[in-house]
Amino acid sequence: MKRRILVLMGGVSRERDVSLVSGAAVCEALVAAGHELRSFDVSRDVGALVREIESYAPEIVFNSLHGRYGEDGCIQGVLELMGVAYTHSGVRASAIAMDKPTTKRAVEQAGLRTPRGKVVRREDFAHGDPLPRPFIVKPVAEGSTIGIRVVGEGANRSWGDDWNFGETALVEEYIRGRELTVGIMGERALAVTEIKFTGDMFDYTAKYTAGHAEHVLPAPLPQPVYDAAMDAALTAHRVLGCAGISRSDFRYDDRRPGADGLYFLEINTQPGFTPLSLVPEQARHLGIEFGQLCEWLVERAQCHA
C-alpha cells in the first residue's frame, strides 16, 4: 500500500550528520517503493515541525533521527500528542533506552550481565578513581559511543577535567574482549556480528570512518555464546518495550567459560540505517533487502499511547 510519509532527519544532536545519511537512504528506498514522500530537517523550532505535519498531513512519520531529542522520547511525545503514527519505539522505551544507567538496571533485573559500574557526579571526578583501572567513562544519555573514554593504567589522574556531557557520568569496569552486536526486528533476533577494530573500543571514528572497522557476519563464536547473545538482545528489546527494530551491543571476554564472558553494554532504539549499517547488513544476511526493511517499518508504524 502506498503511503504519504514524512521522513524526519538531521536534528540537533551530536549525531546529526549520521542521521542525515540514514534519512537520505530511507528517502531513496521509500521513493523507489512508490510512496509519496517529504523529508524534514528537525530543528529546535518545535512549532515548525508541528506546522509541517499539519500542512503535509502524513499518514506515517519515518523517524530517522539519532541521539538526543530524536531517539530519547522527545520527538515521539510530540507525535503522540498530534496522533501521528511513527516508526520505531514509543516514548517510554525510547527514554529508558537512551538513559544508560536506567537501561542497565532494567536489564540486570531481567537477568542480563552488565559490567560493574556506577553513576559519578562531575564534582567527584577530582576525588580519585571511582573504580580500579582500567575503566570506561560514558555520558549517561548519548549514542554512537560519543564521549566515551577508556581510562587505563597510564592515564592522567585528571581524566574528567574536560568532561562536557553533563553533571554525571556512568563509570564501568573495562571488559577486555570482543565487540558483538545483535539486531532485533520485531520479535526476531537477526544475527550476531563481531566488530573488529584497532584500539581499546569501537568509538565514533571507528563506527563512521571507512576502513576503521570490519564486520564479521555471522560472528565466529561457540554456538552457546552465539545463542546467548541472540537471547540477551531479544530480552533487552522486550524488557524495555521496544518496537520495530533495535540493536544491542555486547562485550565478550572469551577467556571465561561458555557465555559467562558475555556482557550487555547498551541498546539502540534507532540504530544507523543505511544499506551498510549493522542492522540492515544483518537483515540482508537473512535475505531481507534494505527497501524491504524500510517497508516493514512503515507497515508497523503506530502511536504507542
Cis peptide preceding 222, ω within 30 of 0: no
Q: Which residue is catalytic, options 144, 246, 248, 277?
A: 144
- Choice among 14, 149, 178, 247 that is catalytic: 247
Pick the catalytic residue: 142, 249, 281, 295? 249
Q: 130: cis peptide before it, omega within 30°?
A: no
The answer to whether 71 and 17 are in contact (CB under 8 A) is: no
Between strands 36-42 and 4-10, the pairing is parallel
**Is 144 designated active site?**
yes
Task: Report the 10 Å Cβ neighbour count for 205.
Answer: 12
63 assigned to active site:
no
The verdict on whether 15 is a catalytic residue reads yes
**Using CA atoms, how far apart are residues 90 and 302, in angstroms rounded to an integer?**
9
Catalytic residue among 71, 179, 203, 266: 266
* Residue 231 known to be catalytic: no
Active site residue 64: no
Q: Take residue 113 and report the three cell numbers written for it.
A: 550481565
Determine the Cα–Cα distance for residues 39 and 8; give it in Å rounded to an integer: 6
98-127 burial, b at 16+ Cβ within 10 Å, e below that, comes to bbbbebbebbeeeebbbbebeebeeeebee
* Catalytic annotation present for 208: yes
d(C-alpha 25, C-alpha 266), whole Å: 25
Active-site annotation holder among 246, 268, 281, 295: 268
* Chain center to CA of 60: 22
State the catalytic residue, choosing from 10, 11, 13, 15.
15
Give the Å distances, CA to CA, from 104 to 97, 98, 186, 239, 294: 9, 11, 21, 11, 29
Is residue 197 classed as helix, strand or coil in its secondary structure?
strand
Question: Apex CA 23: angle with CA 284 and CA 303, to 5°?
Answer: 90
Reply yes or no on whether 272 is catalytic.
yes
Pairing of strands 178-185, 245-252: antiparallel
User: How wide is the angle at C-alpha 161 spanned by C-alphas 158 and 162, nearest 5°?
Assistant: 135
Identify the active-site residue in 204, 272, 277, 295.
272
Instruction: Supply the residues annotated as catalytic.
Output: 15, 144, 208, 247, 249, 266, 268, 272
